[in-house]
Amino acid sequence: MSHKTSPVIVSSSHLVSSSCPQLSEFEYGLTMMNNAFLRWMQHCSQAAGVTELSSLDIQVVHNVAHRDRAKKLADICFSLNLEDSHNVAYSLRKLVKLAMITSTKKGKETFYKPSEQGWQFCERYKAVREQCLIDSLKDLNLTEQQLSEMASALRVLSGFYDQSSRSAASL
């Protein structure tokens, strides 16, 4: 009795490596997940009443609100693993202009905190997230431990991709 293996599901068959075709399958799943997550953030923001934010803006406002501590640009970029500080700086200026965050100069550094309007947005976003995402997640029957393990694996893989990126940049 022969055992047939299923073909891997990929978006770019020309990139499939014979030594690890599953990596291409993983990358396709990651691409789909990333695009769905970015779309989700924007729809959640719109349902929470704020329509003019990009997915980066949404990540930035939530990061600024994280732990209720003022943060500077470098902290936000580091925390979100973003190299392009110009895009984050643009997002911060946009959020200040929309009165969702405030900025305070301390010496040469600018620190950002959520405004009352920013906090209200975060609370509405959380409520939409609870209603639409958390309730649906229960249908997957994933345990908290399984979700935590997936998150850990993604963080480990981000380090793998960061190191590979540095290697590619040095070629």
Residue 97 lies in a domain: yes
Q: Answer yes or no: is 24 within a domain.
A: no
- Is residue 64 within 8 Å of residue 95, measured between CB atoms? yes
| Residue 72, in any domain of the structure | yes
What percent of the chain is predicted at pLDDT more than 70? 97
The whole-model pTM stands at: 0.90
Among the listed residues 110, 106, 105, the one whose alpha carbon sits nearest the alpha carbon of residue 89: 110
| 159 located within any domain | no
Query: Domain range for residue 103?
Result: 51-137
| DSSP conformation letters of 18-54 | TT-HHHHHHHHHHHHHHHHHHHHHHHHHHHTT--S--
Does residue 125 form part of some domain?
Answer: yes
- 150-171, pLDDT tens digit by residue? 999 999 999 999 999 999 999 9
User: Is 164 within a domain?
Assistant: no
DSSP 59-98: HHHHHHHGGG--EEHHHHHHHHT---HHHHHHHHHHHHHT
Task: Using alpha carbons, select from 101, 107, 116, 95 the residue that is nearest to residue 70.
Answer: 101
CATH number at residue 75: 1.10.10.10
pLDDT band at 12 (very low <50, low <70, confident <90, very high): confident
